[in-house]
Structure 1
Amino acid sequence: MLRHVCSRVASAVIATALPLSVGVVTGAGSGSAVAGEPQPAMTVNSAKSAVPGSRFSGSAQIDGPFATRADAEADGYVDEAKAGWRDLVYHAEAGSDLREGSSWEAGDRYSRMEELKVTSRAMGGREIPVVTIKARNNPESAPTLYLLNGADGGEGEANWLKRTSAVDFYGDRIGDVNVVIPMAGAYSYYTDWQEPTSSLDTDAHGVGTTQKWETFLTQELPSPLEKHLGTTSDRRGIIGLSMSGSTSLVYAEKYPGFYSAVGAYSGCAATSGEFSRATQIVLNRGDATFNQMWGDPDGTVALENDALANADRLADQHNIYVSSATGLLGEHDVTSGDVLDGRAYEMITPLTDGFAIEAGSNVCTHLLKSATDAHGITEASNNLVYNIRETGTHQWAYWQDDMWESWPVIAAGLGLDVDEARTDAAAARTEYLQANPGRGAEGSTPVSSLPSFFDAVEQAFS
């Protein structure tokens, strides 16, 4: 009964948030993973059948990196309108980079960043852009961290590169980890779909078959990609946010031991049954249906991909960080803060969309915590850390906070020094706030912006 009521609340809350906006954005343990390809866990809850026994096995083909942005654009495998992330991979202007000890021309790629074209056999030869940030220190032994984008798969302006300081944080301040970011997969939940969808299945060349993102990310990509990076480490982590927050948890449940650390920021662990109504809201934006993705919302495949229904499987996973907030306006949502910097009219998105979606995420996260607590999966036993904030909306500024706040948990799984991780995370946050202090009391009530603010509020709630 509780599950039914809460799912209706979550569905209703998230439904009010369409169209899903990226919101206001910012500027620029123990247990190691096993090497090779993971094997799916075959033990399931008594209420469910076993996962499908046959899985595609094979290695993805990796081409690149592209030497220049012009080379990447000439290939044409990515729609240029969906490649805004290239702004962070290639130099915008000619100059001299003292840190690299070299010079470059406009359009050359940064020395430790790559755009790779990766061909998935499971998806019929579809070519997928993958961005990497190579470790600065000891790359031959550095662990690998996979970052999944949210609902638009990084194909718009909302992605790790453009909306957080991930490049500086992982690449420069940390320097001991390889980072991998797939830049496709909009509205896919990064799962294996049951049926084709004309809107989501192909690359810019029109090549591709039914989406098999789980197979690609867990079976095809890791081995050749980590070999390309040159690392011998068998430790890897994965972090998802919003849509992919549930995905990272599902992967951890299905492939125990494959990931040494897992992060889930503002996701909804529950996706099947009554919660399928909320899942469908995301799929609507991709002109797709729940049945195309997982079939019957109460069927075997749907249940196998529901992280809440399989919460007991997290008993085999260590170093997990899960976050959400209430949806109430927080430090990054107000005019005096670091993001809005006095622009009152821009409060509308976090006040409406950002509130509703995060409130739904909060319901899901509390349900997940109840489930893991009931199964004895805790911080003491598994280094499972929940960060449930009293304030905060569904937007990238809070996920950048999560990037820092989760780092000690992620670092523990990746075999890095946890005390040093805490120090680095605190320093990164301090540095960010010094560079983005906001206006304080001076910007809390900018009178010139209030007319447009109230007009926008009236329109939003009319």
Structure 2
Amino acid sequence: MPDNTTPLKRRSLRIAATALAATLPVWAVTAGPGGVVPTAAAQPGQEASASAEPAVVDGPFDSREAAEKTNYVPAEEAAWRNHVYSDTGRLDKMEEYKVHSPSMNRDIPVVVIRADNDVVNPPTLYLLNGADGGTGLANWLEQTTAADFYGNRVGSVNVVIPMSGAFSYYTDWEQPSALAGGGVQKWETFLTGELPGPMEKKLGTTNQHRAIVGMSMSASSVLVYAEQHQNLYDAVASYSGCPATSGAAASTVDVVLDRGNATYEEMWGDRNGETARRNDALLNVDKLSGQKNIYISSSSGLMGEHDVPSGDRLRGNPVGSVTPAVEGGAIEAVSNVCTHAFKAAADKAGIDSDRNNINWNFRDTGTHQWGYWQDDMFLSWPTLAAGLGLDTGDAEEKARQAAEDYLAANPGVGAAGSVPLLIDTWNNAWEKTYGDGADGNGEGAGA
């Protein structure tokens, strides 16, 4: 039978199915006498970092014009350049590099937020985008104060942000797909093996301390990297992800892959197969036993301070609450279930705050959106700084001040953004329909 549902309805059904699957306790864990424990995981294959050829790093470009002349990335996928260049050249501390991946045989845009000039041998933080990979407007530069926070306030770390990889899960795919115009996807090989050495050498540092951050789609990816490439990262942060990705929990992955017209089978093959299980962070949680400095967060899915019309993100736009309340709430609720299951498995595996410096942030409210990931950017910085060999006291103070300054500069509209604004919006719409002489009750003002 033909599918007569609208794309919005189909997506809503998919989200609902995902939420249902995520509530099933059999998808990633089994109950034992001591509580929740991970099921047996497949042995990992050869480490990408051990066999990868080095990437070729070209840049930085002196100007936007110079970068655009190379035509290596479509202009419609490079809106992030607005945050890298001014009319005359690069903005302070911002750089764009063209990086060639041997495994994918393609050039990948990478944005760098440089450490202060007087910082000698800084560590490196790899910052991954979510589902659109930075090709649209859903990226760290567009949606957060990352450039100011890391570049101006922290100033002691080089931040590396790949601006590609939409809907790829930043993983190595088993088959070619429609992503990025077709071809092979070898993102884990690129990010863990090909990129770090050449990128850090290009940035002039020999500091071996590095950390990685992922959110939404990439939140589970960074946990897999830490598990499968032990000792590569000194700190890891995962915001609003679903660490369970195989078996019945594969439906959570389908939500992302559908948007890229790709399939789970193209990516990892059988949903219960060796590759799928190898890339399931929950099944391999015991491999984090040697990892230090971990920050993991999720919210309940209930609307919070960044979701309401009166808040800092919407600034009085009542319609803007619809997506967080409906779609973002459902997605985050699923992430929350996944993350709590991951914590139970981590606890069972003996991964704890004292031995591993693992910090959990479970919010009572909040949906799947950038306001909370910016909060995580601030809140996770002391944990990341500990791994990067930086002063944690200084990190706490800078994070606290950055959060306070952001809220002071973006206070929202307060009570005027809630009921009064909704009434005004209703009356304005009514007047446009029935004329200036009508009120919201359908009667003339003088009646």
Flag the 1:49–1:200 CA change in 2: closer, same or farther, 3 A: same
State whether residues 264 and 321 of structure 1, in contact with CA within 8 Å, keep that contact through their aligned partners in structure 2: yes
Aligned to 1:112: 93
**After superposition, what is the alpha-carbon deviation per residue over 1:205-263, rounded to whole angstroms, capped at 9, x for unaligned?**
xxxx4110000001100001000111121000000000000001000101111101100
Tell me if the contact between 2:171 and 2:185 (Cα under 8 Å) persists in the aligned partners: yes
Match of 2:425, as an amino acid?
S
State the match for 1:171 in structure 2. 151
Give the number of equivalent residue pairs: 398
- 2: CA distance between counterparts of 1:282 and 1:194? 17
Which residue matches 1:13?
Answer: 19
Q: Distance in 2 between matches of 1:12 and 1:197?
A: 23
Q: Secondary structure at the match of 1:153?
A: coil
Q: What secondary structure, in the 3-state scheme, does the structure 2 residue paired with 1:129 have?
A: strand
| Superposition pairs of residues 13-412 of structure 1, within 5 angstroms | 13=19, 47-53=40-46, 55=48, 56-91=51-86, 106-123=87-104, 125-200=105-180, 209-412=183-386
**Structure 2: unaligned runs, 5 residues or longer:** 1-13, 23-37, 431-447
Structure 2: distance between partners of 1:433 and 1:46: 43
2: CA distance, partners of 1:442 / 1:428: 26
Following superposition, the deviation at residue 54 of structure 1 comes to 7.2
The answer for the alignment partner of 1:21 in structure 2 is none
163-172 or 272-281, which deviates more = 272-281
Q: Give 1:9 deviation, angstroms.
A: 9.4
SS at structure 2 position matched to 1:200: helix
Describe the superposition over 1:112-161 as per-residue Cα deviations: whole angstroms up to 9, x where unpaired: 211100001011x2000000011015443111000000000000000001
Q: 1:129 to 1:307 in 2, by over 3 A?
A: same
* C-alpha distance 451-183 of structure 1, shift in aligned 2 (>3 A): farther
**Contact map agreement 1:266 1:323 (CA 8 A) in 2:** yes
1:178-220 deviation digits (Å, cap 9, x = unpaired): 0000000000000000000133355xxxxxx411000000110
Contact 2:130 2:214 in 1 (8 A): yes
User: Does 1:448 find its partner at 2:424?
Assistant: yes
Determine if contact 1:140/1:230 at 8 Å carries over to the other structure.
no
Deviations 1:368-413 (A, max 9, x none): 0100111111111101101000000100011000000111111111
CA distance in 2, matches of 1:142, 1:335: 40
State the alpha-carbon separation in 2 of the partners of residues 262 and 48 from structure 1. Answer: 21
CA contact (8 A) 2:166 2:179 kept: no
TM-score (normalised: structure 2): 0.85
C-alpha separation in 1, matches of 2:428 and 2:185: 43
Structure number with higher relative contact order (C-alpha < 8 Å, ≥ 6 residues apart): 1
What SS does structure 2 have at the residue aligned with 1:152?
coil
Percent identity over the alignment is: 53
Deviates more, 1:335-344 or 1:223-232: 335-344
CA distances 1:342-376 after superposition (whole Å, capped 9, x unpaired):
21111111111110110010000100010011111
Distance across 1 between alignment mates of 2:238 and 2:170 = 14
Going from structure 1 to structure 2, the CA distance change for 1:453 and 1:236 (only over 3 Å counts) comes to: farther
Secondary structure at the residue paired with 1:316?
A: coil
Q: Within 1, Cα distance between the matches of 2:66 and 2:400? A: 39
Summarize the Cα distance change of 1:250–1:440 in structure 2 as closer, same or farther, 3 Å threshold: same
Instruction: Measure how far apart 1:419 and its partner are.
Output: 0.9
Which residue identity is paired with 1:434?
A
**2:399 aligned counterpart, secondary structure:** helix
Once the 2 structures are TM-superposed, how far is the Cα of residue 71 of structure 1 from its aligned partner? 1.3
Q: What secondary structure does 2:362 align onto?
A: strand
Amino acid in the other structure paired with 1:59: P
RMSD of aligned Cα (Å):
2.1
CA-to-partner distance for each residue in 1:307-346, whole Å, 9 max, x for gaps?
A: 0111111111110000000110100111221112221111
Which ranges of structure 1 fall in alignment gaps of 5 or more residues? Answer: 1-7, 17-44, 92-105, 203-208, 455-462
Instruction: Tell me the SS of whatever aligns to 1:437.
Output: coil
Larger of the two Rg values belongs to structure = 2
